[in-house]
A and B are shown apart, each in its own frame.
Chain A
């Protein structure tokens, strides 16, 4: 019962460094997404995917790249980290079937950019 697994749980970067946040799900869900959570602003959608090979932008996509080569994995890449990207990041997945509409979340990654 792994569900949605995010790694790492914590990360500190220097401005300009790059890194990839990993996300994997074992529920064979079609839809996967990345959110960021900032104080007083709730969760905001960064990017999402409706299946392998298909991705789209959310509300705050700038500075982030994604790809979906398999159903299970949906990594989020920061090419050149900026202090404004300090946040908590959540990966989520759900089935594409309307009747199975519950979104499952990973435990989050706390990222600090110095």
Chain B
């Protein structure tokens, strides 16, 4: 079974600084998706960024970027120019791609990010 591990339960960053959240996963599949979700105090799950495993280029969405290392099964999230609104719980998630797959998301345990003014 696939597993997703986030080894940092809590992180903090100074406003305007850069922070990197770590995620590793275990799978025997070659094709899959990886996601980072943000969960603010409102509890809403918000998709931050996604990466297709077959793409070598790291995904980027404005201040958010990933470092995807397929061989190492590592998928870290970098937040640049951190803002107070970035404070939230961040979840790393995995899903198989295979044609017709009904696979749902497998989540890590989350990293609580605090942004210090």
Residue of B nearest to A101 (CB): B33
Q: Which of A31, A41, A101, A105 contacts B109 (CB 8 A)?
A: A41
Q: Are A108 and B109 in contact (CB under 8 A)?
A: no
Q: Are B9 and A50 in contact (CB under 8 A)?
A: no
Interface string of B76-95 (1 = CB under 8 A from A): 00000000000000010001
Q: Are B105 and A45 in contact (CB under 8 A)?
A: yes
How distant is the Cα of A31 from the Cα of B35 in the complex, in angstroms? 18
Given contacts A98-B97, A102-B50, A103-B105, contact A43 B43 (CB under 8 A): no
Q: Are B104 and A33 in contact (CB under 8 A)?
A: yes
If over half of A's interface residues share one DSSP class (helix, strand or loop), that class is named, otherwise mixed; here it is strand
- Does chain A have a CB within 8 A of B107? yes
B70 to nearest A CB, angstroms?
18
B19 to nearest A CB, angstroms?
20
Residues in chain B near residue A108, CB distance under 8 A: 43-44
Given contacts A101-B95, A102-B50, A105-B44, contact A42 B104 (CB under 8 A): no
Question: Number of A-B pairs whose CB atoms are under 8 Å?
Answer: 54
Q: Are A50 and B97 in contact (CB under 8 A)?
A: no
- Does chain B have a CB within 8 A of A44? yes
B112 to nearest A CB, angstroms?
10
Residue of B nearest to A88 (CB): B43
Residues in chain B near residue A41, CB distance under 8 A: 109
Residues in chain B near residue A56, CB distance under 8 A: 102
How distant is the Cα of A101 from the Cα of B102 in the complex, in angstroms? 11
Given contacts A40-B9, A45-B104, contact A107 B44 (CB under 8 A): yes
Q: Which of A48, A101, A103 has the largest number of chain B CB atoms within 10 A?
A: A103
- Does chain B have a CB within 8 A of A74? no
Residue of A nearest to B46 (CB): A105
Q: Which of A44, A50, A102 contacts B102 (CB 8 A)?
A: A50
A25 to nearest B CB, angstroms?
14
B: residues with CB less than 8 A from A are: 4, 6, 9, 33, 35, 42-45, 47, 50, 91, 95, 97, 99-100, 102, 104-110
Q: Can you report 8 A-B residue pairs in the complex whose CB atoms are below 8 A from each other?
A: A40-B9, A42-B4, A44-B107, A92-B104, A96-B100, A101-B33, A105-B45, A107-B44
